[in-house]
Amino acid sequence: MTMTIVFSACTALFFGFSDFFGGVAARRDSEVAVTATAHILGLAALGLAAIAFPATVVSLRDVLLGGAVGITSGIGITALYGALARGRMSVVAPITAALSGSLPAFYDLASGTALRPLALAGLGLALVSIVIVSSAGHPEDRAGMPPIAIGLSLLSGVAFSFSFILFSLTGKGSGLVPLVSARAVSAVVLGAIVLVKGRGRFRLARPALVPALGAGLLDAAANVTMLAAIRVGPLAVAAVLSSLYPVATILLARYVLKERLHWTQRAGVVLALAAVLMAALG
């Protein structure tokens, strides 16, 4: 299970940085346009990776499952960027992560996956740390979270949880094909929406372009490590530990955007690190 933890930790780091850059870009342009731009770049990166590391056995089921993930992830990322643009990053990201980590874990454990007690305790502590980081904060944090930002955060978490579950159903021999299929669907759908809204024009504001491209590359890398984590170990471990990405997002928001970090949120970060260690030792 060691490699699952390593891949999951990389996923959390990549997703955390990607969400930060995506949130910054969404504050400068439409979240749909930002997501579409990021996904188009991600599609190119994943396509090259799939050529470099070809699949051994690919079925139509793997392609269709990937396409379904394209829909759920497109919804999830668009909702997340919208929430990040309207609310505080230090609150939005943990709400999304709590759902995207817990729902797949419950699904996996209910399906019969068995984990050692210490690993289970570590996963439980990870979810607790996410909730602590999410619920703690200053009064202005909560004031900076309008209902639409909360709703978009919840929608994003549910959509991401379905992505985890659907990816876990793909065959190991399919390589990166499900990722390419997912990104192709989301890029086409989101690109079409942008074209319709922009009346045939696809243009991202220059201040939003660089962070959007950064978000796309980091998101593609996160998806690769996430799929690897799911395939080499239990879905419950991969989903929960990958969902620790708010730690990276919050720290970036703290030091780049100068969002204040409450002492209880700092305690949540420490608990998250302890959770990873417990899962590794379990």
Length of the chain (residues): 282
Please give the C-alpha separations between residue 188 and each of 145, 185, 194, in angstroms, as whole numbers: 31, 5, 10
Helices 2-26 and 60-86, axial angle in degrees (round to 10): 50
DSSP state of 243: T
Treating both helix axes as pointing N-terminal to C-terminal, what angle do 246-255 and 263-281 enclose, rounded to 10 degrees? 150
Using alpha carbons, list the distances in angstroms from residue 95 to 5, 76, 84, 199, 221.
Answer: 22, 13, 11, 34, 22
For the chain, domain boundaries: 2-281
Burial class of residue 77, CB neighbours in 10 A (0-12, 13-18, 19+)? buried
Q: What is the pLDDT of residue 5?
A: 87
Neighbouring C-beta atoms of residue 56, cutoff 10 Å:
9
Kindly give the confidence (pLDDT) of every residue in the chain, 282 residues in length, as a single tens digit, with 9 standing for 90 and above. Answer: 689 889 999 999 998 899 889 888 988 888 888 888 888 899 999 999 999 888 888 899 999 999 999 999 888 888 888 887 887 776 777 778 778 888 888 888 888 887 778 777 877 777 777 667 655 555 555 555 678 888 898 899 899 999 999 999 999 899 999 999 999 998 888 888 777 766 555 678 888 899 999 999 999 999 999 999 999 888 888 888 888 887 787 778 777 877 666 777 677 767 776 776 676 555
